[in-house]
Each structure stands twice: as structure tokens, then as C-alpha cells.
Amino acid sequence: MNEKMAHPTDIRNSKALLRREIKSRLAGTTDAELERQDGEIACQIVGILNTAQTAQTVLMFSPIRFEPQIASAFDHCLNGGHQLVLPRITDAASGAMNLLRVDALDTMVNGPFGITEPDPDFCPPVDAGSIDLAFIPGWAFNPQSGARLGKGGGFYDRLLANPNFRARTIGVAYSDQLVPDLPIEAHDHPMDAVLSPEGLVEVEK
């Protein structure tokens, strides 16, 4: 089913409900199953990086709870000839974040929300326009349309809306985060592909 835009209030309510449903699903999944899915996803990311030699600058994310734990792929990105870029939250209230280049994983520090972030004293800023490939988290994705349901903070919405940001975007999801229909608003930007333990699905344009 293709997503349709409804009244903004109805959409926001539908998004909030779906976030609760997804959170409940993931909370009911065993740690062993999530770790299995983490391994599948990380292996696929490594495979994507191996074949994306022209993607010099790669944006990843430092996962929090209920996000695929992809940090094991950071080393492969660094050692595979790519530049690793990670976000750093600068203003949680407004959903502002900077993108910083990470040359060594020991330059990471604990940031807001328990997120491990690049230390700005050691990690230089990167312009959004220089990103070639971006792995994007979210609460839910429709792998057919590429629609993404974010966490509600607007961090990635602002990045995706940046006119200089032209990277290939891949949404990263657990199996329970794949849904056939998503409530969307005008500012929601679809992914180019969706990656899950089931594989990589390219979105038809």
C-alpha cells in the first residue's frame, strides 16, 4: 500500500501510535534474536562498503536502544578506504546536529541520550554536501516506498531536507521495524533503499 497524507493532527497521532507499537515489539524480542539480527545487518553493511568504492565519505550512526547495533562496522569503514562520519547533537531541543569525521574510534565521547559521539576537539566538521553514502536509523521503514518514521526529534529530517545533502540513503532496520504502510507528512523524505536482516531492498523511483 502506498502512503497517503491525511490531516496533520491525524498523521501525528498515527506516528505516535506506531512508535509505541514498534517499541513494544522490540521490547518483546529476546536479546539473542536482536544480536542475531545485529550480526546480519553489520555483515550486509560490510558487503555494501566493499562494493561502494566510489563512496568516499560514509555517514553512519552511533546506535541507541532499539536501533540496530552497527558499531562493529565502523572499523571496516575506517580500514576500507572510506571516511567515517558520525553525527553529534548540538541542540536537542531544535533537533540540530553536526557531522564530524572520525579518524580513530578512541576520539569518541559520551553525549546526550547515552549516544557515543565524535569529540569535536579531535574530529573535524564535515559538510553535508560531501557525504556520498548515508546509513540512517528510524523507528520504522516501508521497504517498498522507502518511507521512514523517525524518532520525533527531527535530527535526520533536517539533514535530509538540506539541499546540499545528496547522498545515497539507506534506512537500517530490525525485522520488526519493517511495515507495509507509514503515515507521512510533506517534510518526510524517503530512503533510496532499506536494509534489514532480510536483505537490501532498493526503492523504485
Assigned C-alpha cell, 114: 547515552
Residue 189 located in a structural domain = yes
Beta-bridge partners for 109: 117
Q: How many CB atoms lie within 10 A of CB 23?
A: 14
Number of structural domains found in the chain: 1
Residue 125 located in a structural domain = yes
Residue 149 located in a structural domain = yes
Q: What is the pLDDT along the chain (205 residues), one digit of tens a residue?
A: 445 555 667 888 889 999 999 999 999 999 999 999 999 999 999 999 999 888 999 999 999 889 999 999 999 999 998 999 999 998 877 778 999 999 999 999 998 777 899 999 999 999 999 999 999 999 999 999 999 999 877 789 999 999 999 999 999 999 999 999 888 777 789 999 999 999 999 998 7
* CA gap 65, 69 in Å, rounded: 8
* CA gap 126, 85 in Å, rounded: 8
Residue 151 located in a structural domain = yes
* CA gap 39, 107 in Å, rounded: 24
Task: Consult the annotation and say whether 153 binds a ligand.
Answer: yes
* pLDDT for residue 204: 86
Task: Consult the annotation and say whether 160 binds a ligand.
Answer: no
Task: Consult the annotation and say whether 152 binds a ligand.
Answer: yes
Residue 2 located in a structural domain = no
Assigned C-alpha cell, 64: 541507541
- Residue showing cell 513494544: 24
Task: Consult the annotation and say whether 129 binds a ligand.
Answer: no
Task: Consult the annotation and say whether 99 binds a ligand.
Answer: no
Residue 3 located in a structural domain = no
Please state the pTM of the whole predicted model.
0.91
- The domain of 98 spans 8-202
* pLDDT for residue 8: 61
Mapping DSSP onto H, E and C, the string for the chain reads CCCCCCCHHHHHHHHHHHHHHHHHHHHCCCHHHHHHHHHHHHHHHHHHHHHCCCCCEEECCCCCCCCCCCHHHHHHHHHCCCEEEEEEEEECCCCEEEEEEECCHHHEEECHHHCEEECCCCCCECCHHHCCEEEECCCEECCCCCCEECCCCCHHHHHHHCCCCCCEEEEECCHHHECCCCCCCCCCCCCCEEEECCEEEECCC
Q: Which residue type is seen at 177?
A: Q
Residue 121 located in a structural domain = yes
Task: Consult the annotation and say whether 205 binds a ligand.
Answer: no
Task: Consult the annotation and say whether 12 binds a ligand.
Answer: no
Residue 97 located in a structural domain = yes
Task: Consult the annotation and say whether 198 binds a ligand.
Answer: no
CATH code, domain with 123: 3.40.50.10420
